[in-house]
């Protein structure tokens, strides 16, 4: 399992639109991905789970990826979260 902690860059956090794109990238990857904020972790393939975390700009989150090409998928998803999708 690959894991990374990072800061979310989107000016308005991971609201519905960027969360939907993030979840699509997760499901397209074919990997099992967990997204954690604080003590709460959710299946990152669930739009309701991701949005329910209430991730805001600058929040620190942890990504955990299991499956084929876990490191590459972790890099791709990390890059997504480290970009501002509200610019």
For residue 6, the SS3 value is: strand
Q: Determine which one of 12, 15, 57, 85 is catalytic.
A: 15
Q: Provide the token pair at 34.
A: 């967990």
Question: Could you tell me if 47 and 74 are in contact, meaning their C-beta atoms sit under 8 angstroms apart?
Answer: no
Please confirm, yes or no, whether 21 is among the known catalytic residues: no
Question: Could you give the CA distance from residue 32 to residue 8 in angstroms, rounded to a whole number?
Answer: 20
By annotation, the residues acting in catalysis are 15
């Amino acid at each position: 399992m690959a894991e990374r902690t990072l800061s979310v860059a989107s000016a308005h956090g991971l609201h519905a639109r960027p969360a939907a794109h993030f979840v699509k990238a997760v499901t397209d990857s074919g990997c099992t991905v967990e997204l954690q904020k604080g003590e709460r972790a959710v299946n990152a393939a669930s739009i309701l789970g991701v949005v329910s975390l209430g991730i805001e700009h600058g929040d620190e989150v942890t990504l955990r990826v299991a499956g084929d090409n876990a490191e590459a998928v972790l890099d791709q998803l990390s890059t997504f979260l480290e970009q501002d999708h509200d610019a």
